[in-house]
């Protein structure tokens, strides 16, 4: 039990932040792989950033499953004969592995998902031909997870000479969301604008020169918001001009086995070579996990929040919400009373006079 002194009273802490391990679990990373990252001497603050900037492994797993294993429409009932036929017809196997390149790789959730696919469908196999990452902590984590490919980092994706990169089948690019996210600068990703998010246009060279069969973009849902949809469509049209058929969909992590409401846009592109091509995004699956399944049994005291500061924070919000209510936003008028009630209950639960 963690306690803090608040004035002349002793408080029992009831509120804490998630640990880095819990954040990684919410991104679908296994405890074994979390151990590898933490054993690589990646700082706690860097671990939070890595988890927050990554892609949920479970979502990627199902996207790849629909591309490389179960290619049919999930809405049609698949028989055991269909499943056997698809495995027998699997294109990428030990003798002909899927050749992958990832950009803005992070610790490569993509490869973690492909590893899981490889374990679940033994005929399937892949190889990471190259990856691109410049953040030191991300590179350290990547090397810890995939030491066999430590020497394949191409560095800054805007400086890659694609003529010198071996051929590959799948290009996965996840550009910085700094200028797209609602919590970011919202400066956009117009070509030539110089924003961090505008490096998406450097992907064009990879598609034009290497012509991979598949390409996949992942980013925050705001990329297809009313503000940025015109820019997104410009990018889609550019990819189409290069010979690809696009399939776009918003997918939420909570629909693929992870107790997290995390919605992201995915653009799956297939080189069509003048032919009709299809791709079916995975259908949602029932959520059987809760946040309780993610939490650690024992947590260091440093992750608990001082009850006095929690109360101050909520009281500050009471003042702000009350101001909004006074400004005429009627639908939130009950909120100040609910917050006050929460503070009163919190104080009753956490404060004792015994020292």
Which are the catalytic amino acids? 177
CA distances in angstroms from 310 to 48, 198, 244, listed in the order given: 21, 39, 52
Enumerate residues 6+ apart whose C-beta is below 8 A from 125: 92, 93, 94, 97, 98, 118
Enumerate residues 6+ apart whose C-beta is below 8 A from 32: none
How far apart, in whole angstroms, are the C-alpha atoms of residue 81 and residue 30? 32
| Angle formed at CA 36 by CA 35 and CA 39, multiple of 5 degrees | 80
Please give the distance of CA 344 from its chain centroid, rounded to a whole number: 37
Enumerate residues 6+ apart whose C-beta is below 8 A from 58: 28, 113, 253, 256, 257, 258
Q: Which residue has tokens 């592109």?
A: 269
| Angle formed at CA 168 by CA 165 and CA 171, multiple of 5 degrees | 95
- Tokens, residue 239: 């990819």
Cβ 306 vs Cβ 15: under 8 Å: no
Enumerate residues 6+ apart whose C-beta is below 8 A from 85: none
| Phi and psi based region of residue 192 (left: phi greater than 0; alpha: psi -120 to 50; beta: remaining) | left
Single out the residue of 95, 141, 90, 143 nearest to residue 117, CA to CA: 90
Bridge partners, 216 (sequence order): 172, 268
How far apart, in whole angstroms, are the C-alpha atoms of residue 178 and residue 239? 22
Helix (H), strand (E) at residue 209? helix 203-210
């Amino acid at each position: 039990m963690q306690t803090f002194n608040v004035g002349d009273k002793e408080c029992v802490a009831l509120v804490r932040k998630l640990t880095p391990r819990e954040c990684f679990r919410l991104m679908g990373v296994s405890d074994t792989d979390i151990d590898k990252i933490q054993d690589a001497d990646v700082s706690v603050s860097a671990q939070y950033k890595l988890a927050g900037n990554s892609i949920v492994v479970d979502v990627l797993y199902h996207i790849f499953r629909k591309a490389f294993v179960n290619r049919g429409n999930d809405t049609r009932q698949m028989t055991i004969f269909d499943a056997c036929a698809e495995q027998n017809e699997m294109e990428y196997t030990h003798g002909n592995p899927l050749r992958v390149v990832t950009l803005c790789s992070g610790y490569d959730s993509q490869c973690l998902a492909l590893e899981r696919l490889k374990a679940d469908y033994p005929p399937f196999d892949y190889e990471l031909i190259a990856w691109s990452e410049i953040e030191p902590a991300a590179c350290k984590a990547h090397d810890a997870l995939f030491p066999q490919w430590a020497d394949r980092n191409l560095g800054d994706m805007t400086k890659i000479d694609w003529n010198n990169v071996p051929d590959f089948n799948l290009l996965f690019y996840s550009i910085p969301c700094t200028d797209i996210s609602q919590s970011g600068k919202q400066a956009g990703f117009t070509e030539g604008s110089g924003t961090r998010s505008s490096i998406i246009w450097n992907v064009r060279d990879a598609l034009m020169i290497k012509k991979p069969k598949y390409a996949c973009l992942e980013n925050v849902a705001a990329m297809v918001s009313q503000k940025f949809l015109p820019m997104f469509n410009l990018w889609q049209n550019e990819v189409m001009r290069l010979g690809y058929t696009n399939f776009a969909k918003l997918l939420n992590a909570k629909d693929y086995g992870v107790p997290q409401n995390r919605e992201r846009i995915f653009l799956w592109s297939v080189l069509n070579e003048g032919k009709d091509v299809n791709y079916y995004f995975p259908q949602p699956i029932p959520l059987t996990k809760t946040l309780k399944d993610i939490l650690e049994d024992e947590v260091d005291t440093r992750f608990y929040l001082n009850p006095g500061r929690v109360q101050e924070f909520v009281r500050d919000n009471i003042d702000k919400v009350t101001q909004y209510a006074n400004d005429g936003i009627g639908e939130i008028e009950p909120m100040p009373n609910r917050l006050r009630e929460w503070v009163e209950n919190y104080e009753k639960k956490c404060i004792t006079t015994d020292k």
